[in-house]
A and B are shown apart, each in its own frame.
Chain A
Amino acid sequence: MKVLVPVKRVLDYNVKPRVKADGTGVDLANVKMSMNPFDEIAIEEAVRLKEKGAATEIVVVTIGVAKAETDVLLTARAMGADRGILIQTDDEIEPLAVAKLLAKVAQEEQPGLIILGKQAIDDDSNQTGQMLAALLGWAQGTFASKVEIAGDRVHVTREIDGGLETVDLKLPAIVTTDLRLNEPRYATLPNIMKAKTKPVAKKTVADYGVDVTPRLKTLKVVEPAKRQAGIKVGSVDELVEKLKGMGVA
């Protein structure tokens, strides 16, 4: 079974985002970019499925600027993906358009399973996997913390608000990863060197004939309201007094 893993290049999760003074967005010039953390988990899961013999080939795909090839496709291949697809564009592509592009890739590649991160930490949408499942008419196992392939089915344990839930899905299916699915491995230097020899197909958005015109227009981006500076108390007694003053306890 072939596994397809879509990944996204985002502002590194350790970097504190700075809103541009003109309110047009977040400043991404000269800041560290890396693979969306949930996508690393997706790659790791695909590699583990291959190591268990449940997957035969891992194809990683990204949609974005040319630098995504070195920033994320290389890392993905160094972690164990067999080959990459870069769909190059300088435009911002919304989840619906991403899902449409990925649906075309899925039709070409015919994977048995597509593993995506549950959300990208930049737009925090949490939509692409579900939209892709809808477009392909496949089952979806979102927020997965455990994935088990059993013949032509996949069992997915999902993190839900009250606890955990397990669903049984018909393959081909979509899985989106939650944080606790696994701990992604590091790309080692020898593997990064080796990854450079693994192929990457370069495409453009136009190759897929998908209309990617944005449906949402961002009117402005602002910083959230700042909290007023607080105080430090010196003892538990003072803290208790404060809490009582607020009507707590």
Chain B
Amino acid sequence: MKTLVWVEHDNQSVKDATLSTVTAAAKLGEVHLLVAGKGVSGVAEAAAQIAGVGKVHVADDAAYEHFLAENVAPLIAQLMGDHDAVLFPATTTGKNVAPRVAAALDVMQISDILSVEGADTFTRPIYAGNAIATVQTSDKKLVITVRGTAFDKAATTGGSGTVEAVAAAGDKGLSTFVGAEIAASERPELTSAKIIVSGGRALGSSEQFHALIDPLADKLGAAVGASRAAVDAGYAPNDYQVGQTGKIVAPMVYVAVGISGAIQHLAGMKDSKTIVAINKDEDAPIFQVADIGLVGDLFTIVPELTSKL
């Protein structure tokens, strides 16, 4: 089987999410990559170094700079004449573009796969990760999004892919990019961090969230996450949200501070290797999944913990 992998990048460097997707694609067969963007020769060169990669298709055009689905999907659909499967990381870009490609090819997309069981059989989570379904597709072409935390990352070196330009399919004129507000952060990226410190509603305010969670995260070299309650209350920005509707993470250590553990939150973090919970309510559901729990007032525990690390 010949697979095509969507390379997630920011027109400058390859994002980590791509690497897990390459691992999933390699289980299906030969791996080709697609780098679509503007001024992406550097990205294409880096992509060609990824272990196990055959060909790197490069579509360099202003129409692809912001990965607008209306422009990118027809390009991919066109490349699918030559490929049997296309895999996207289940990032916001992948989730935005992949179904548009699937509909163009008249196939059912398989979302957020956790494993490859065979050439046409995959597992995926349903009901906020409370059940795992094994599904078999009857479609001739496969369109798949891949849960990054479920696959190891392919090595970024050792590959020797050949770079080949693809003719751009042009701007469809349906949409234009206006602007972006990217949250600045010096900390590790949430989805690839080894340690995450996450805060919930119990933090009480944005000031307290930053005063307590940030120093602890910095001490541990951790990324900062949040529950939906904390995000909705304005304590933390949207892109911090861990859960069914936010980011799915599986770090080595996940420290949940003042998070009760609603099923929607657990869906985003329960595959973490070790879960540490700090909560004053000893009946909080978070303690049912926590490996190490500490019952008590986070306003005294967290500063003490930070100072003792």
Contact = CB atoms under 8 A, between A and B. Distances in A.
A140 to B, nearest CB: 6
B245 A179 contact: yes
B241 to A, nearest CB: 8
Given A95-B109, A222-B131, A224-B129, A215 B180 contact: no
A196 B136 CA distance: 42
Contacts, number: 252
A243 interface: yes
Contacts of B57: none
Interface stretch (A11-19, A60-68, A104-112, A185-193): A11-19
Centre residue among A162, A169, A219 by max chain B CB count within 10 A? A162
Interface string A211-241: 0001111111111100110111111111110
A106 to B, nearest CB: 14
B130 A16 contact: yes
A161 B110 contact: no
Nearest to A236: B304
A123 interface: yes
A75 interface: no
A96 B103 contact: yes
B128 A124 contact: yes
B130 A218 contact: no
Contact of A239 (B106, B132, B263, B294): B294
Contacts of A124: 111-112, 125-128, 244
Interface stretch (A44-52, A81-89, A129-137, A197-205): A129-137
Interface in A40-80: none
Given A215-B107, A224-B131, A239-B276, A248 B195 contact: yes
B91 interface: yes
Contact of A159 (B138, B174, B239, B274): B239
Given A95-B108, A220-B134, A222-B132, A236 B68 contact: no
A127 B99 contact: yes
Interface residues of A, number: 82
B102 A231 contact: no
A239 B195 CA distance: 15
Interface string B110-140: 1110000000010001111111111111110
A26 B108 contact: no
A99 interface: yes
Given A11-B127, A126-B111, A180 B308 contact: no
A249 B294 CA distance: 18
Contact of A167 (B68, B132, B309): B68
Contacts of B136: 216-217, 219
A100 to B, nearest CB: 9
Interface stretch (B31-39, B162-170, B285-293): B285-293
B279 to A, nearest CB: 11
A131 B304 CA distance: 51
Nearest to A134: B103
B232 A180 contact: yes
Contacts of A26: 126-127, 130-131
Interface of A: 11, 13, 16-17, 19, 26, 94-96, 99, 118-119, 121-135, 137-143, 145, 155, 158-170, 173, 178-180, 214-224, 227-228, 230-240, 242-243, 246, 248-249
Top-8 shortest CB links A-B: A130-B99, A134-B103, A131-B103, A215-B108, A139-B174, A127-B99, A230-B291, A166-B178
Interface of B: 66, 68-70, 73, 91-93, 95-104, 106-112, 121, 125-139, 173-183, 191, 195, 219-220, 228, 231-232, 237-239, 244-245, 247, 252-253, 263-264, 270, 274-276, 282, 287, 289-295, 301, 304-305, 308-309
